[in-house]
Amino acid sequence: MDINNYIESGILELYVAGVLSVDENMEVEEYALHHPEIKSEINSIEKAFEKYALAHAKQPSKSVLNNVLSAIETQNGKVHKGEGRILQMKPAAAVSPFLKYLAYAAVALLFISGSLNIYYYNKFQNTQQQLVALQGENEYLANQFNTMQANYDELAGEMNFIKSPDNIAVTMKGSALQPDAIATIYWNKQSGDVHLNVNNLPVPPQGKQYQLWAIKDGERIDAGVFDMDGSIQIMKNIPAADAFAVTLEPVGGSKVPTIELIYVVGNV
């Protein structure tokens, strides 16, 4: 048996309201005996019913008490000194079975109504919480999707640039300073656009940053500094070049390259 489904079925509220059959009552009590969760839920429902009854209880007005006392005063009877008033008591009129049935039905309906109100209120609260959780999850997934879409668009743009027949790939190989270093330039001679892919370069020390240079007729042209983030990076526009090189410079770059710190170089 699924305990949670049984608790949420509403039968425990009807049990506390006293409207179940004998067999159904015995079934609930048997389950409560073997499942502490059901017993705990019954106790919670009983407390909720008690709170409901107290919250809706009405204090009789003073006029009701005055009317009762007045009725007593006007009853036929003798008053004897020192003996108080003797009242003639009349037997109460018999209540018809139908009226008793209506009274029991009204009490049962009151408790059932209260239990259903509590039951559906709790369901509403749970639904609201689940809705808030789902909205948060949807928002998270939407943000994840937007991030992935942006990354995809960026990667697609890079791939389209690399595959363009107007681009040439320049492989810059490691110098004696770092023989196994390697980086690749994708350069469009017509537009001058330059993309850099770092294949293998050591992480620069604190306070240092790599800088790309274009070499044309012996002149070193600054093509921008770059970070080691693993992506293909867009560098400065270079209209003409005979070669490209990467040096290690202070953070922010230098106006002229540090020749003794050339890590990779490649001819066009």
**116/182: higher pLDDT:** 182
Confidence of residue 55 (pLDDT cuts 50, 70, 90): low
Q: Where are the beta strands (DSSP E) in 58-163?
A: 77-80, 84-87
Whether residues 29 and 143 share a domain: the answer is yes
Cβ proximity of 263 and 179 under 8 Å: no
Burial class (CB in 10 A: 0-12, 13-18, 19+), 25: middle
**267/48: higher pLDDT:** 267
Task: Report whether pLDDT(95) > 50.
Answer: no
Whether residues 117 and 156 share a domain: the answer is yes
In terms of residue numbers, what domain contains 120?
1-56+94-163
Residue 59 in tokens? 């204090």
Task: Report whether pLDDT(132) > 60.
Answer: yes
Whether residues 248 and 140 share a domain: the answer is no
Instruction: Give which of 53, 51, 49, 57 is closest to 14, Cα–Cα.
Output: 49
Per-residue pLDDT tens for 228-247?
A: 887 789 999 999 999 999 99
Q: What's the chain's average pLDDT? A: 79
Gap between the Cα atoms of 204 and 210, Å rounded: 7
Q: Write the CA distances from 246 to 51, 175, 185, 259, integer angstroms.
A: 78, 10, 11, 10
- 72 found inside a domain: no
Q: How many domains does the chain have?
A: 2
pTM: 0.45
Confidence of residue 183 (pLDDT cuts 50, 70, 90): very high
Whether residues 148 and 172 share a domain: the answer is no
Whether residues 147 and 215 share a domain: the answer is no
The domain that holds 233 is classified in CATH as 2.60.40
Whether residues 178 and 136 share a domain: the answer is no
Which stretch, 88-92, 148-152, 221-225, has highest mean pLDDT? 221-225
Per-residue pLDDT tens for 161-180?
A: 666 778 899 999 999 999 99
- 75 found inside a domain: no
Whether residues 109 and 223 share a domain: the answer is no
Whether residues 152 and 175 share a domain: the answer is no
Whether residues 114 and 42 share a domain: the answer is yes
Whether residues 139 and 226 share a domain: the answer is no
* CA dihedral sign, ordered 136, 141, 142, 144: positive
pLDDT of residue 176: 92
